[in-house]
Structure 1
Amino acid sequence: MGANMSVGVSDTDHLLKPRLEDIPESCVALVLMYLDPPDICRLARLNRTFRGASSADFLWESKLPSNYLYIMERFFYEEALVKFGKKDIYARLCRPNSFDNGTKELWLEKSTGDVCVAISSKALRITGIDDRRYWKHIPTEESRFQTVAYLQQIWWLEVDGEFEFQFPAGTYGLFFRLQLGKSSKRMGRRVCNSEHIHGWDIKPVRFQLTTSDGQHAVSQSYLDNHGTWFYYHAGDFVVRNTNALMKINFSLTQIDCTHTKGGLCVDSAFIYPKSVGKEARLFL
């Protein structure tokens, strides 16, 4: 009888033993809110309960930037807000979203949901850009915009840009992506033509950043990145009011006319939160 009782208890314990799929989806979703988006997507593969919980609107709304409605209204038709769930909106915003005739892109950094922006050289005001003696646009696979502005030779270097946007609160950095030398493919290998590189070791390039609420930053740097794309830091700015538009003006100049300079590729300007580290920038 004792043996029979033991077997009976064991069977009952087996039937009552909780399983992962027995946890309510709402509870699972509350736990997932504490994880980063990539981890949420990985856990969604566990079972049906986790898969369902990982699609909860309130979960993904907590991962979206505070200004996501402004972004959606600016880049997508109004029906998208009704048609897409919050997870779909997050996934859509993580892709490069081009605007202003393809000269700018916006996307979310997948792990954090932070807003990043890239501004093509074609959206910048470059002194002398229409004179082919000085500048020309050249196609390249090394730019997200498939083209860069190439400087052959000039006395007065001046590149200006501006951007107005409603940023989420936080600290942002603005960088210019530049390279000395013109790279291309030869026999399947990357080569860099340094024919026109000169004048950058005499005086540094000056970078400036100003914002519509009075912030100002200045930095200087000698250009010495032969054959390598490099992010030159123009400055940082702080956004405190998420609901306000902020206009940013930025520039790079080398206007000492005692010497010429050349051999510079200007790809784009990048704006992204300080939370995006140096390693992540390599893939922007």
Structure 2
Amino acid sequence: MADYYYERELDMLPEDCISSILSRTSPLDAFHLSLVSSTFRSAAGADSVWERFLPSDYAQIVAKSTVPLKFSSKKDLFLQLCNSILIDHGNKSFALEKSTGLKSYMLSARELSIRYGHASDHWAWKYIPESRFAEVAELKTICRLEIQGKIRTETLSPNTKYGAYMVMKMTDGAFGLDAIPCEMSVAVGNDDDQLETTAGTAYLRKPAEVAAKQWLEYALYRNRKEKLKSRVNGGGEERQLRERGDGWMEIEVGEFFAGEENEGEVTMRFTEVNGCHVKGGLVIEGIEIRPKH
């Protein structure tokens, strides 16, 4: 009963006052409170509310979209950005988190630095329908796997913890990918003053193969596995590939905090350099940078 009278009292406030209150909450709160009454629904749809939820540089982001965005209100624009758009000539994607309005980016394979990426005997660039980008990179054969991506902290939501995730697939004919663990790291800062925030290792295996592979290695190749792993410089936490809802797999490269004290360039590295082991059949879509909660 108390809640009912509280809502009735709020309903008596001027609509612009309710809008001002809602703009100081979150997108998720605004969606929920719009169900309270017709007054709240009207107030929650005001441009002044969604202007606060949109990033400060939304106009520049919209201008970089590969497809012109048509929207009837700032709320409409917010919802379109939540569905992800392609920007920068289709080589990146951008999205807002619907509940918080925090930014996410994905760097396509074309935006990454891939060792021998332009050598046709090592990598093939092709279109596949399940990718959001025009091209992905498919590994034919190589001995040293080195992939690196970069993004500026200033383009991200301020004071936010982010995770960087390599998004990939393995072809049916993939080989040699799990012989030696890969090293992964994230560093923040300029070239002369970079701070490595996280480091880890991973064997590139499909999630369904992990348990069987681990048992076989323990039973037959335990000593060999430990010797190979000892050749990895970084050490750190061992991470696993996991299935995504879009049909791809991902592995966390690392995490970092986009704050005022560590502004600069974020460098994400995914390497396997301490061996000369032939491998192939890896398909790289890109690196996704999204908020962690």
Query: Counterpart in 2 of 1:199?
Result: 176
Query: Aligned to 1:49, which of 34, 39, 42?
Result: 39
Query: Counterpart in 2 of 1:176?
Result: 166
Q: Please identify the structure whose Cα radius of gyration is greater.
A: 1
Residue 258 of structure 1 deviates from its aligned partner by 2.9
Tell whether the 8 Å contact from 1:23 to 1:49 is kept in structure 2 after alignment.
Answer: no
Query: Counterpart in 2 of 1:232?
Result: 251
Query: Counterpart in 2 of 1:117?
Result: 105
Residue 255 of structure 1 deviates from its aligned partner by 1.9
Deviations along 1:175-217, one digit per CA (max 9) or x if unpaired, are 10122x23xxxxxxxxxx2x2x222232101112211163213
SS of structure 2 residue aligned to 1:69: coil
Tell whether the 8 Å contact from 2:140 to 2:280 is kept in structure 1 after alignment.
Answer: yes
Query: Counterpart in 1 of 2:78?
Result: 90
Residue 143 of structure 1 deviates from its aligned partner by 1.9
Residue 38 of structure 1 deviates from its aligned partner by 4.8
Q: Distance in 2 between matches of 1:266 and 1:144?
A: 12
Query: Aligned to 1:72, which of 59, 64, 68?
Result: 59
SS of structure 2 residue aligned to 1:128: coil
Structure 1 counterpart of 2:270, one-letter code: L
| Residue 195 of structure 2 corresponds to residue 215 of structure 1 | yes
Number of equivalent positions: 237
After superposition, the Cα gap between the structure-2 partners of 1:71 and 1:215, relative to the gap in structure 1 and judged at 3 Å, is farther
Structure 1 counterpart of 2:168, one-letter code: L
Matches within 5 A, 1:16-55: 24-26=14-16, 28-29=18-19, 32=22, 36-38=26-28, 40-41=30-31, 44=34, 48-55=38-45
Q: Distance in 2 between matches of 1:49 and 1:171?
A: 36
Query: Counterpart in 2 of 1:4?
Result: none
SS of structure 2 residue aligned to 1:118: strand
Identity across matched positions, percent: 28
In the alignment, structure 2 segments of 5+ residues that lack a partner are 1-7, 65-70, 209-242
Query: Aligned to 2:152, which of 161, 164, 167?
Result: 164
Tell whether the 8 Å contact from 2:28 to 2:100 is kept in structure 1 after alignment.
Answer: no
Q: TM-score, normalised by structure 1?
A: 0.71
Q: Distance in 2 between matches of 1:108 and 1:147?
A: 23
Query: Counterpart in 2 of 1:126?
Result: 114
- Higher relative contact order (CA closer than 8 Å, sequence separation 6+): 2
Q: Distance in 1 between matches of 2:258 and 2:207?
A: 35
Deviations along 1:6-46, one digit per CA (max 9) or x if unpaired, are xxxxxxxxxxxx79975542454366457653563465466
Structure 2 counterpart of 1:72, one-letter code: A
Q: Distance in 2 between matches of 1:144 and 1:165?
A: 24
Q: Distance in 2 between matches of 1:151 and 1:45?
A: 50
Structure 2 counterpart of 1:69, one-letter code: S
Q: TM-score, normalised by structure 2?
A: 0.69
SS of structure 1 residue aligned to 2:124: strand
After superposition, the Cα gap between the structure-2 partners of 1:160 and 1:44, relative to the gap in structure 1 and judged at 3 Å, is same
Query: Counterpart in 1 of 2:68?
Result: none
Tell whether the 8 Å contact from 2:188 to 2:263 is kept in structure 1 after alignment.
Answer: no
> Which range moved further: 220-229 or 84-93?
84-93
Query: Counterpart in 1 of 2:136?
Result: 148
Q: Distance in 2 between matches of 1:146 and 1:101?
A: 10
Residue 247 of structure 1 deviates from its aligned partner by 1.2
Query: Cα RMSD (Å) of the superposition?
Result: 3.2
Q: Distance in 2 between matches of 1:47 and 1:201?
A: 57
In the alignment, structure 1 segments of 5+ residues that lack a partner are 1-17, 78-82, 183-192, 276-284
Deviations along 1:119-150, one digit per CA (max 9) or x if unpaired, are 00111111122222221123223222143211
Q: Distance in 1 between matches of 2:272 and 2:123?
A: 15
Tell whether the 8 Å contact from 2:146 to 2:270 is kept in structure 1 after alignment.
Answer: yes
